[in-house]
Chain A
Amino acid sequence: MSHILFTAAGCARCNITRNFIREKGIAYEEHNINGEGKELFGRFYRDHRSAVVRGKEGIEFPVLADAASVRQGVGRIIAYLHSGTKLDGFINRNSLSKGWIDGLHVSGGDPALKEEFIEVLGFLKKNGMKLQLDTNGKNSSLLKDLLERELGDRVIMDLKGPQSLYRGLLGEEIKTTEIIETMQLVTRFPEYRFETTVVPFIRQGGLVGYLTPEEIEETAQWLREVTGNLKQPYILRLFVPETSSDERLPSVRKPSPDALFRYRTAARKHQVLTEVEKVPG
């Protein structure tokens, strides 16, 4: 038996996964962790602790294991069973509950694989999941396809910063027209918001510095100009150095949450509903 599927009792996402496996005729072995599979999963968990994430509400099921890898969550499992690891950039771990799924990165994968990504999202949507997409501006044509096929119930755009710094903040080339198209598309989804994380980045001359309130004001102004609206839902987020993959940045001093209020004041000159993300106390 190549695939082992661990499921939980009353788990809707487990049912969706099972349906997919059966629809595709994939051989598998299922163990219910609330019944006969309890001990087996206990042993499996001890052996694969690093591969199974335990969130605030416990372990998310289903969990799939085969000889090559361990996959957790309905999106990740279906994408894997559909296309192997090819869609990994598009679909990552889910953190939402109550019928929503996130970790769906429009900008994260190879646009040449968009049809496969769309097929996976279509299956999730057909089975009643609400899809929360995210984008940083890249792959705007894919976002357009998703909008037209109604495969996005909410979209969050990580607006990296002002136009003049965007490429540097993103860390790769991107056409301004593509960012602008994304910003415009985002506002056409049923729910959406724009977010900017006030990050440190390496400026010209090699110095590391945080985005400034003036640069956030510039970002808000750009958002207003592109969308023609000064009341976009716009959230400013605090940078968490520990989570940065850039080895030069974790040593950067973590800003105080209160520091964001100056940025909010600056942004509100152009986006009047700008708020700061609440940091759990």
Chain B
Amino acid sequence: MTYPSVYPTGATLYDPRRCWNGYTVFQAKEAGALLIDMNGGEVQLWKRFHGMPNRILPGGYLLGSTGERSTAFGVQDGIDLVQVDWDGGIVWKFDQYEYIEDPGEEPRWMARQHHDYQREGNPVGYYVPGMEPLVDRGNTLILSHKNLRNPKVCDRLLLDDTIIEITWEGEVIWEWVCSDHFEELGFREEAKNLMFRNPNWRPAGGGIGDWMHINSMSLLGPNRWFDGGDRRFHPDNIIWCARETNITAVIDKKTGKIVWQLGPYYDQTPEQRELGWIVGQHHAHMIPRGLPGEGNILIFDNGGWAGYGAPNPGSPTGFRNALRDYSRVLEIDPLTLKVVWQYTPVEAGLTFPVDANRFYSPFISSAQRLPNGNTLVTEGSGGRLIEITPGHKIVWEYISPYWGKMMKINMIYRAYRVPYEWVPQNPRPQERPIERIAVTRFRVPGASPGGPKREVNVKGVLPYRSDAALCVQTNGEDGPSANE
């Protein structure tokens, strides 16, 4: 993966005519919650206000957290989930899920929130026409953590994922605990064996197994599958995905049981094999009614390393045995598992596979379907946001200029685009096109201009071949593979 050490940050590309224009909010590394306009103008920073993720609500409200539990004792435990107003005033807060007494820390209640939450009124937490999240009432679903033991998974302490529903007043009225459904997940014996010995061991608090690592959670909302009689897709049901096991699943809100599942294996049916192995995915959700592609499942399929299974040369123990060094954004029909739309290195115009890792985030990341059919993609590890048309053209690009001082990375966990109207406090910004810079001619100050000072000819040379062979097969050389 070749990354230059010098490259521009902020907005680098913008076609206002083809974008779905609005504000974008994200957690700027070690800075706070940042709201930007389409030209990358920093409209407002809620300083040091955490968020995994941050979300803007109508009226200029912001959801996030006031902090994170010490990593000596927890893994990504958000202390609370908080709604603040435009001026940073706290208007709603929840933290009463677990009373925590970490050594050397003040005892306190914590939400242990991580990765996702959903406010009533909107199933997925991003803009959908006619589905505005409530700002002064309503329940909230929160993805949280709970430490527990479940000998079916492992005989040691587990960091389990839970989903809770709380009222506006902060009462917990529903709870779903992932490990209660271990036997429904369909792991093969080799995976169970490995998981028992290494449930993704993290050192926090003396050691704890982050065995699933659920990283997204949303409601299905109204959808055509349920309207057609398929009760698995009841609007109240919840979809989540878990990076460590490569599983995306829908749970029945009433019974808690898993009613639809993708993964952990992708080699059992022709449809799964055609789909390919989804690895370490993030932000799996059903595209809500009212947006192009409604009813399909949108997933940022990270690649990277994930899964429990049989050993292979890249995974001598079988831990994180699925490996891939590029990412894919997939829009999948949940019934046929056919890919309806995708953005992979091929659609990005990269030579596959040799240059595929230029579209690659092995962790975090997301995809949001926009009302005009475009997709806002967070390619998280490199802090890159892109808006892509259905025809795969990049019409907006932004690189985060916020590198952490403690963690030297400009990562963005997940960004969201919201309409200008949701932030009435700010005058509608001017939209100025940003043309693509011709990188073949662009030089930084001090660099010599391009082009040779002198050219000479060599007698007898042949022209370059358009079908030149590389050391490895590329996508221009499709033929029978060794497996066929």
Contact = CB atoms under 8 A, between A and B. Distances in A.
A143 B180 CA distance: 36
Interface in B155-180: 170-175, 180
Given A265-B96, A272-B99, A281 B171 contact: no
Contacts of A231: 99
B171 A265 contact: yes
B256 interface: yes
Contacts of A258: 173-175
B257 interface: yes
Contacts of A96: none
A133 B99 CA distance: 29
B157 to A, nearest CB: 16
B99 A268 contact: yes
B54 to A, nearest CB: 27
A261 B167 CA distance: 11
A278 B173 contact: no
Contact of A261 (B109, B174, B180, B255): B174
Interface of A: 231, 258, 261-262, 264-265, 268, 272-273, 276, 278, 281
A231 B109 CA distance: 13
Q: 8 closest pairs, A vs B, by CB?
A: A272-B99, A265-B171, A261-B172, A261-B173, A265-B172, A258-B174, A262-B171, A262-B173
B47 to A, nearest CB: 32
Interface in B282-324: none
A265 B255 CA distance: 21
Contacts of A272: 99, 109
Given A261-B173, A265-B172, A281 B99 contact: no
Q: How large is the interface on B (under 10, 10 to 19, 20 to 34, 35 or more residues)?
A: 10 to 19
A281 B174 contact: no
12 contacts: A258-B173, A258-B174, A258-B175, A264-B172, A265-B170, A265-B171, A265-B173, A268-B96, A272-B109, A278-B180, A281-B180, A281-B255
Nearest to B177: A278
A281 B184 CA distance: 12
Given A262-B172, A281-B180, A281-B256, 8 more contacts: A258-B175, A261-B173, A261-B175, A262-B171, A264-B172, A265-B170, A265-B172, A281-B255
Contact of B99 (A261, A273, A276): A273
A278 B162 CA distance: 14
A262 B166 CA distance: 10
Nearest to A258: B174
Interface of B: 96, 99, 109, 170-175, 180, 255-257
Contacts of B171: 261-262, 265
B280 to A, nearest CB: 29
Contacts of A273: 99
B148 to A, nearest CB: 10
A262 B175 CA distance: 11
A196 to B, nearest CB: 17
A30 B86 CA distance: 81
Nearest to B175: A261
Nearest to A230: B99
A276 B174 CA distance: 11
Nearest to A268: B96
| B175, B256, B257 pick with most chain A CB within 10 angstroms | B175
B283 to A, nearest CB: 27
Contacts of B173: 258, 261-262, 265
Nearest to B181: A281
A224 to B, nearest CB: 13
A260 to B, nearest CB: 9
A281 B255 CA distance: 8
A276 B176 CA distance: 12
A134 to B, nearest CB: 23
Contacts of B256: 281
Nearest to B169: A265
A262 B172 CA distance: 6
Contacts of B175: 258, 261, 276
Contacts of B96: 265, 268
B228 to A, nearest CB: 27
A213 to B, nearest CB: 9
B167 to A, nearest CB: 9
Nearest to A266: B171
A261 B170 CA distance: 12
A265 B171 CA distance: 6
Contacts of B180: 278, 281
A281 B172 contact: no
A262 B139 CA distance: 14
Nearest to B255: A281
A265 B172 CA distance: 6
Contacts of A262: 171-173
B112 to A, nearest CB: 14
A273 B148 CA distance: 13
A265 B164 CA distance: 12
B139 to A, nearest CB: 12
Contacts of A261: 171-175
A219 B325 CA distance: 57
Nearest to A231: B99
Contacts of A281: 180, 255-257
A268 B172 CA distance: 11
